[in-house]
Amino acid sequence: MIDNPFVSDEERQTDASKLRDKNCSNFNYNDVAVKLLNDKLLLTALELHFELLENGREVPKLRDFFSNPGNFEQSPRTEQIFPIVRSSSQATLDSLDLTRFSEDGERGVADRVAVLEFELRKAHETINGLRNNLTVATECETPTHDQGDPSKDNWCEPIKPHEQRALNFLVNEYLLTHGYKLTSITFSDENDNQDFEDWDDVGLNIPKLPALLQLFRDVLRLGPGAYKSACLCDIACQTDQEEEDHPQCTSSEEGSIINSLSKQASSVIELKNDVLELERLRDGATSEPAEPDEIEILKSRIAELEKQNVDLENELKKVTQIEPVNSHFANSEHSTSPEKFEVIENSRQEEMKKPEFSQEKSVGDPPSLKTEVDTGGSESKDDGSSLTDNDWTRINDSELGSTVGNLQFEPEISELLSESTDNISNRHQSAAFQREVISKCFINVSKLHDAPPILQELLTEGISSDRLVHIVTVSVLRIIPILPSTKREEIIPLLISAIHLHPEPSEREVLLQCIFNLKKRPNEDERKTILAGIVCLARCSNSAVVEGELLPFCWEQLTHRYTERRLLVAEACSALAPYLSPTMRNSLLLSMLTQMLQEDKEELVRASVVRSLALVVSVLRDMDKYLQCEQLAFLALKDLSQDVIDGATTILLPVLAKWALDTSILQSHLMTNLLKLLEQQIQTKDLDSGTVINKLLPSEVCCLSILYAIQTLLPYLVIFVASAPKVIEAIRPNLPLAESRAGFAELCHGLTNPATFYECENQSLGVIMSAFDYCVSEFNWPELDWILAVMVPKLLDMLENVKISQSDIVNGFISFFRSFTAGLGKNVALNKTKPIFKERIQKLEAALVNVTTDWPSMTVIPVYILAVLIPHKSEADEIKNILSKFLISLPLVNAPLDVLFFTVAQMSQTASAQDLLMSTLWEGVMHPRQAVRAASAKYFMCALPHVSQPLIVTRLVPALVTLSSDPETTVKMTAIPTLGALLNVSTKKEIQDKVYFQLKSLLGEPELKENHAMLLQLITTLGQVAPHSEQWFREEVIVPHLADFTAYTLQLASTTKRNDLTLALVEAFNTVVYCSLSKITVGSVLLPSLRNLDALCKDSYPVHHDNVLLMIKEAETRSDSSGKAAERSPSISLSSASTHVGQGVEEMKQKVSKIFNSPIGKTSNLSNLQNIFRKK
């Protein structure tokens, strides 16, 4: 019987041959490969190789051929005269002979470079392709399952290489992220064949998986049955029907699948018939009377059938759950990727069972299946257990010359066909004709496999406002990875809107993660943009979203590996603080900031935390949290970063002080605890003196930070005392104006400005300070008594533990008490604070008289003079008395003078106190005791850098001339360094001439060489003044005398003196040799003396021998004398130099002595002074 009479015999034979070809599964591709390679059809062979490789049927012949690039990269131009020989190495140029084709010139070199570049590029492509194919092949390998146990879980399958590497990568990432660094190192050592820094090492075409923690959370969120249901999802795979021997698409396997499905469909019908028979027997047993034997037989039959019914229904369920294989082939000629799998969710299956989809009819089912399903259709429609057309896989009939079997009609097309059949009665169209028209004309887009899933959802489910948020969420998550890094912040508004409108917490969490992960390391502007989006979300959303989702996500980012991400969290705490409830601010937010301040290692993050913490403290109302905030502020004060300390001092502590001021605990808590903290740090001994921060030890830095913090809070302390109830009660209309506090204004700015942080409903700030100044002179009150009886004495006790060598801390105390006395006013400073200091001074004097072992601390002297007395002009007499008392008493008892040196140096920096200082020091110059006069010269040395030029001329120079002319050698010796320093500081001609004269007088003393200490001091001073003196003074005074001292040292017998003088001469000549000197002086005086110095260094200081040789080389270079002149006897030159010095000393004394007989103001007498010192 002919099924289709409109098919020719030739077409029937063609179809039969195609069916026979399908059964031929043992076709030998190796012969085809050999044929293609022999015929040089390399592109066809290459395409065949990749097609077979994708299907898992790799041919060794093709694999070996294409694994060697040399087989298909050979140049076909054999007729070339000078063929380019291929390099023996693909990756290097070491074996390429670039000179072989020199006659071809640059052309040969260019050709070789082009070939090598091509080979290198092809090698990289081959490597990447092989790695890609290896990953695909490994991924597509499926071990044989136990056919006897279909319920066996796929977790029992052996792990694949790429799966193992992916899991290793995620485990190592988890260990590093959560602090298991040692375990991570061990894990990396055990997997040394894997690079844990590069995900591509897992596989080139494997996308980056989420973190292990995220995968775990996804499992918990999906629920315990998620993966069980996932195992029942529909699977669609693309297979190649044109390859007859494909393991999944062979004719034998197709037949077995069809036969099994037919048998199962038949069993469905038989089962239903058994059910009907069971119902009939049950009805018969209940309606008709029967004999007892027959009733028993029927009952047993019913029970047996009911049992079979249960078993058959279970079997029926299994049959209806079988998912057939989809053999749709994806026609892509250039595809090198593995077969694509599409997972259809169970929820989509339920939606497809809606009425509008239930009308779809399959036109490609096998006839046997269709007949059997239609036979049992009447029984299966009610219970829904039958296999519908949509459940079956449509088999591609393209090989039979028809594509009709692949079609699935959309609802609109079905409706169109039905309308054409119903409304136009004269145009009856058969179903086959309609299907053929549709196959030729209609573009079916409802089942596009390459379309985005979200677009497929739109095609099947439509567009609505309810689905808009879901569409935006899915689309945004797909768009973000492909956006340029510099433009990702543009999508923040869309993300924020999706988070706000999305009803699912799990999806909101994913979107929140996208916001924080937009930039790997966001800079400041990018962080501000992200924070702006977060603030918008906090404003629009309720507190449950902010506190339950946004803030906990920030908590998870506290330990992020990148500083910028942790910085974003610290700034987010500040941005979100206004939108959190007080309970959440007191608990989670404060805990986050505490953890970051204590544990974060980056100072930028800690500095940002301090600012955020200040904002949180400003809105806290729970007094139970005050002590915790205070401890955090103290922790920031002790930080090693200056930025953190500055933030704590200028922002956090003032905010905390405002809280303490409002609650009246400023003195009892904050100031008291700060004083205790300062006392602890001052008493701390640095065990590791090698740890230095800004040239200070850590404890010194901490002391300075705390001391400056207390000073910064002085405005709060002054307002706290001035706004006491007793002061407010004393306010009257006729009170005098408050005194000016100019020295206190530098502290009153920003958060420490009283006009900013203090508000009084009834009285202004000026009226309150007027009442305070009035009350200070009338009576005391508890707040003021605490300052005078507790605070000041405790600070002075701490000051006694500070050494004068810790000059920065001493300066810190001076600055504090200067601001303290300025803020509380003149009355408090002179009438309340001054007596406390005077009492300490009296104790110090008594201790100096009765000293036994160690000298007492005298740091109270500079603090008292500089902080309490100098700011007030009325205390000039007190300053002079205190200063002169210690200037005289300390040298007499041989006490250390460091405190006075520090006091004089600091006092000289105050312009208003310089005249008073000079007049006080002059008393020491005229003192009859030698020790006092010698100490006075050192005091002048400390004051010299800061004293004005008029005072130098009128006060300091006469004092130094007097001291350098003192009959006592000790006094003269102490004045020499000050004379040299004066020459370095002053540029006035008259001052310099007096210094020159005084130095020449000291150098001309006959007993100079007998006084070893004075000689050493003069040599050192000459070396120091040489660069700052005039050239004539260097050539006529400094160089000749240094040469004379060198010859004298060379003749010394005492080793100690000789060594001391040698070291001093080396340092002096090291300066002189590089000064401007004439060639005659260099050749005749300097060079011979350097050779003598070289002889001294060989014996005394071999370490300086190389340095002296360098000086000799420099002098020889600058000298224009011949070699013979350079080799003249040094003794002749030195003797002539000594003679020259001796002849000029007396003459110089006579000439210069006339200068000092005339007043200094008459410059006419000094017009030719420089000519006096010229050589005749």
Say if residue 235's pLDDT is above 80: no
Residue 900's pLDDT band (cuts 50, 70, 90) = very high
> What is the per-residue pLDDT for 462?
72
Query: Contact, 671 vs 717, CB < 8 A?
Result: yes
Angle (CA) 640 645 651, round 5°: 160
What's the distance, CA 1172 to chain centroid?
A: 70
As a whole number of angstroms, the distance between CA 568 and CA 564 comes to 6
**Dihedral sign computed on CA atoms, order 1032, 1034, 1039, 1041:** positive
1120 three-class SS: coil
Average pLDDT over residues 26-51: 83
In terms of Cβ atoms closer than 10 Å to its own Cβ (0-12, 13-18, 19+), residue 103 is: exposed
Q: Which residue has the higher pLDDT, 412 or 992?
A: 992
Q: What angle is formed at CA 961 by the lines to CA 959 and CA 964, rounded to 5 degrees?
A: 105
What are the structure tokens assigned to 237, written together?
A: 């795979």
Residues 91 and 102: beta-carbon distance below 8 Å: no
Measure the CA–CA gap between 73 and 70, rounded to whole angstroms.
Answer: 5
Which CA distances in Å does 1123 have to 1091, 1109, 1134?
14, 17, 18
pLDDT of residue 296: 66
> Cα separation of 881 and 861, whole Å?
12
pLDDT of residue 788: 95
CA distance 598 to 609: 10
DSSP state of 494: H
* C-alpha dihedral, 597 to 602 to 603 to 607, nearest 10°: -50
Distance CA 606, CA 260 (A): 71
8 Å CB contact between 597 and 606? yes
Specify the higher pLDDT residue, 495 or 319.
495
For residue 259, the model assigns a pLDDT of 52
**pLDDT > 50? residue 347:** no
CA 293 to chain centre: 93
* Residue range 1042-1064, pLDDT digits in tens: 999 999 988 888 888 888 898 99
Token pair listed for 620: 């806290």
* Residue 762 burial by Cβ neighbours in a 10 Å radius (0-12, 13-18, 19+): exposed
Q: Give the per-residue pLDDT at 266.
A: 52
Domain boundaries, the chain: 157-231, 463-621, 633-641+653-871, 883-986, 989-1176
Long-range interactions of 264-268: CB distance < 8 A, separation 24+: 264/319, 264/322, 265/369, 265/372, 265/373, 265/376, 265/387, 266/372, 267/315, 267/319, 268/316, 268/319, 268/376, 268/380, 268/385, 268/386, 268/387
Q: Pull the structure tokens for residue 444.
A: 């079916």
709: burial class by Cβ within 10 Å (0-12, 13-18, 19+)? buried
- Residue by residue, what is the 3-state secondary structure of 769-795? HHHHHHHHCCCCCHHHHHHHHHHHHHH
Contacts within 8 Å (CB) and 24+ apart, 277-281: 277/305, 278/302, 278/305, 278/306, 278/309, 281/305
* pLDDT above 70: percentage of residues in the chain: 66
CB 821 within 8 A of CB 871: yes
DSSP assignment of 978-990 equals HHHHHHHH---HH
pLDDT digits (tens, 9 = 90+) for 986-1021: 888 888 889 899 888 888 888 888 888 899 999 999
Question: Which tens digit of pLDDT belongs to each residue from 851-875?
Answer: 767 888 899 999 999 999 999 988 9
**CB–CB of 742/823 below 8 Å?**
no
Tokens 């006659």 belong to residue: 103
The torsion defined by the Cα of 616, 620, 626 and 631, in degrees rounded to 10, comes to: 0
> Rounded to whole angstroms, how far apart are CA atoms 582 and 617?
11
Looking only at the bridges linking them, the beta strands covering 341-344 and 234-237 are: antiparallel
d(CA 587, CA 355): 55
User: What is the total residue count of the chain?
Assistant: 1176
- Find out whether 916 and 865 touch, Cβ atoms under 8 Å: no
Q: What angle do CA 258, 264, 270 make, to 5 degrees?
A: 140
Name the pLDDT band for 1125 (thresholds 50, 70, 90). Answer: very low
796 and 847 in contact (C-beta within 8 Å)? no
pLDDT at 303 over 80: no
pLDDT at 1098: 82
For 17-30, b/e burial (b = at least 16 CB within 10 A) is eeeeebeeeeeebe
Q: How far apart are CA 934 and CA 847, in angstroms?
A: 24
d(CA 691, CA 698): 7
- Please tell me the distance from the alpha carbon of residue 723 to that of residue 147, in angstroms, as a whole number: 92
Task: For residue 650, give every residue at least 6 positions away whose Cβ sits within 8 Å of its Cβ, in sequence order, or none.
Answer: 712, 750, 751
Going from the C-alpha of 1036 to that of each of 233, 1061, 1120, the distances in angstroms are 107, 21, 19
Whether 8 has a pLDDT exceeding 80, the answer reads: no
Amino acid at 76: P
pLDDT for the residue numbered 447? 57
pLDDT top residue among 132 and 563: 563
Most confident of 67-76, 349-358, 452-461, 597-606: 597-606
Q: Give the DSSP H/E element, type plus range, for residue 236.
A: strand 234-237
For residue 1115, the model assigns a pLDDT of 87
Region of poorest pLDDT, from 63-77, 694-708, 805-819, 1135-1149:
1135-1149
Q: For the whole model, what pTM was predicted?
A: 0.60
Chain mean pLDDT for the chain = 75
The pLDDT score that the predictor gives to residue 95 is: 43
Q: In angstroms, rounded to a whole number, what is the distance separating the alpha carbons of residues 912 and 929?
A: 29
Burial class (CB in 10 A: 0-12, 13-18, 19+), 108: middle
DSSP, res 739: P
C-alpha to C-alpha distance for 294 and 887, rounded to whole angstroms? 139
pLDDT of residue 277: 59
Q: Is the pLDDT of residue 1157 over 80?
A: no
* Top-confidence residue, 1172 or 719: 719
CA distance linking residue 737 with residue 767, whole number of Å? 8
Nearest to residue 810, comparing CAs of 771, 733, 851, 863?
A: 863
Res 509 pLDDT > 50: yes
> Among 360, 390, 371, which Cα is nearest to 269's?
371
